[in-house]
Chains A and B, each alone.
Chain A
Amino acid sequence: MDLVQLQRQLVDYRTSLYHEGFLDEQFTQLQSLQDENNPDFVVEVVSLFFEDSERLLNELSKALEQQVIDFKRMDAQVHQLKGSSSSIGAHRVQKLCIVFRNYCEAQNVEGCLKCLQQVKHEYGIIKTKLESMFQLEQQILNAGGSIPV
């Protein structure tokens, strides 16, 4: 695929992520903070988000396996996940976290279990999509092109 096609593909892909509600304007904010002196800013922030999210999702899984479920602690963890997903514009994950917190507050185990599954699912999707997007960006850079805004 030639450079122009790659760039077009990237723009289309990115646009679809916004249209389908995977990303919101906070992601655009992050992109605007990147420049030639800080070319990896978005990748770095998103990588931190991935690490943070995986840790939190593991902890939430463990919490729900306990005999006595610590809903307060879980709520704090979902709050963290909500915060970081909001900060990078991971819209669907953020929205699910709001629902998840309601179940924690209500101490509804079934609700929490269901929500956790949904969050894991959505997280998996956004991770794959962002990684694909970064790969596309890298292909463009390798081909000597610049990433279209």
Chain B
Amino acid sequence: MARNGGVAWMRTTEKIDGYDLSTSDTEEVHVLAVDDSLVDRKVIERLLRISSCKVTAVDSGRRALQYLGLDEEIQKKETNGFDGLKVDLIITDYCMPGMTGYELLKKVKESSAFREIPVVIMSSENVIARIDRCLEEGAEDFIVKPVKLSDVKRIIDYTTTELREGEQREGARARRRGINKRKQREGDDDLSSSPPSTLSSSTSSSPSSSIQSATAPLSPSTLDSPTRRLKMTSSE
């Protein structure tokens, strides 16, 4: 199989076989869960694992920043994450001693390296002013506790869609650079087809304005289609 030089679009794995992205098991979302409550950490961890996510659970905003490598008091080169795994989503409690979830949200959104990571806030208090403040600061969503599986699934669903679209945009850029002409031809074919309903429905429910379905040359379902997989495989 020819190696694709456009490794920029391989997010977590070192495999050059990009077709793995079409299956959800290799495309595991890595979630950083932040909550000072031991009970809630255990529950959110289970909810996320059931939703096929990798989970790192920490008990404070400070620990979350340390994990990301954003803690000013610890040199970035010392931390670089506990295990170096890229974080795809942060889910944090609002009310925490020390740094609140809101303060954590602000720090993440102020950082050039991490501002793209969606941040979801959880709170037992359904206060409109609080929700608005968080959304204004760039929170992806706000979950009222107690957290249910349906809440987590909804969030993971549109996070996964956004990630795939992000990779497709990067993949599209790589193709436009003429790294793999065959893929580019097939990419062009897909540009002409309309996006599937799953993509557009996810797009409309997501508050993120960064999704542009019109420019995404590949939709998740065309990547998923066995015909496409076979086509790509056999010509390698």
- Residues of A near any B CB (own CB < 8 A): 26, 29-30, 32-33, 38, 41, 44-45, 48-49, 51-52, 76, 79-80, 82-84, 86-89
Contact = CB atoms under 8 A, between A and B. Distances in A.
Contacts of A84: 37, 39-40
Contacts of B46: 33, 38, 41
Nearest to B35: A83
A29 B37 contact: no
A49 B149 contact: no
30 contacts: A26-B146, A26-B148, A29-B146, A29-B148, A30-B43, A33-B50, A33-B149, A38-B46, A45-B42, A45-B43, A48-B39, A49-B39, A51-B38, A52-B38, A76-B97, A79-B95, A79-B124, A82-B124, A83-B37, A83-B39, A83-B40, A84-B39, A86-B124, A86-B145, A86-B146, A87-B37, A87-B39, A87-B43, A87-B146, A87-B147
Interface string B44-71: 0011001000000000000000000000
Interface of B: 36-40, 42-43, 46-47, 50, 95, 97, 124, 145-149
A45 B97 contact: no
Nearest to B147: A87
A48 B97 CA distance: 19
A48 B145 contact: no
Contacts of A82: 124
